[in-house]
Amino acid sequence: MAINISNVVVRTHEGAEKRLGEYNDQVLLIVNVASQCGFTKQYAGLQALQDTYGPRGLQVLGFPCNDFGNQEPGSLKEIQTFCSNTYGAKFPLFDKVHAMGQTSEPYSTLNRTEPAGDVAWNFEKFLVDKNGNVLARFKSGVEPESAELKTAIEQALKE
C-alpha cells in the first residue's frame, strides 16, 4: 500500500503548522539532516538538486534531527546559518524532529514506507510524488549526486 503524506502536519522553522499537502503538484525530497555528521557534505548536493530540478517542480525539505549521535545539537537558527554559510543551502528547513523511537511527523508516517522501520541514520531520503505518495526510500549512503537518486527524481517529475 502506498503511503501518502498529504495530510501530515509538520512544524515550520517559525513554529507554524504546515500540511505537507500544500506541496502537492511538486515532487518532494524529504531528508533528515544533521550539521555534525559524516554525511553533512550532502547539504551541497541537496542544494544542487534543488537548483537543478527546482524549476521543474522539485522541492527539497530538510528536517533537522538530533537522534543519531547528537549530531544536530544546535538551535534552528544556528543550523540555518551553518547550512547557508557553509554549503549555500537555501531549501526549507523545518523544526527539529525525531526520526526514530518516539518519532514525530513526518517520520511517524514516512517510516511506514517499505522497507518499513525507523530511519537508520542522518540524511535518509524519501522521494514523494506530486500527489503526496511516497515513491522511494534512499539510505544515507545514497549521495544526492547519485545516478540512482537523479533517475528517480527525473522519473517522478515526468509523471
In this predicted model, what pLDDT tens digit does every residue of 22-38 receive, in sequence order? 999 999 999 999 999 99
CATH number for the domain including 42? 3.40.30.10
This model's pTM is above 0.75: yes
For residue 2, being part of any structural domain is answered with no
Residue 2 has pLDDT above 90, yes or no: no
For residue 4, being part of any structural domain is answered with no
For residue 1, being part of any structural domain is answered with no
Q: Residue 34 belongs to what domain range?
A: 9-158
* Residues 6+ away with beta carbon under 8 Å from 36: 71, 72, 73
For residue 3, being part of any structural domain is answered with no
- From residue 108, give the alpha-carbon distance in Å to each of 4, 43, 102, 119, 138: 12, 23, 8, 10, 17
- Catalytic residue numbers? 37
In this predicted model, what pLDDT tens digit does every residue of 83-96 receive, in sequence order? 999 999 999 999 99
User: Is the link from the previous residue into 115 a cis peptide, with omega within 30 of 0?
Assistant: yes
For residue 29, being part of any structural domain is answered with yes
In this predicted model, what pLDDT tens digit does every residue of 134-146 receive, in sequence order? 999 999 999 999 9
Number of folded domains that form the chain: 1
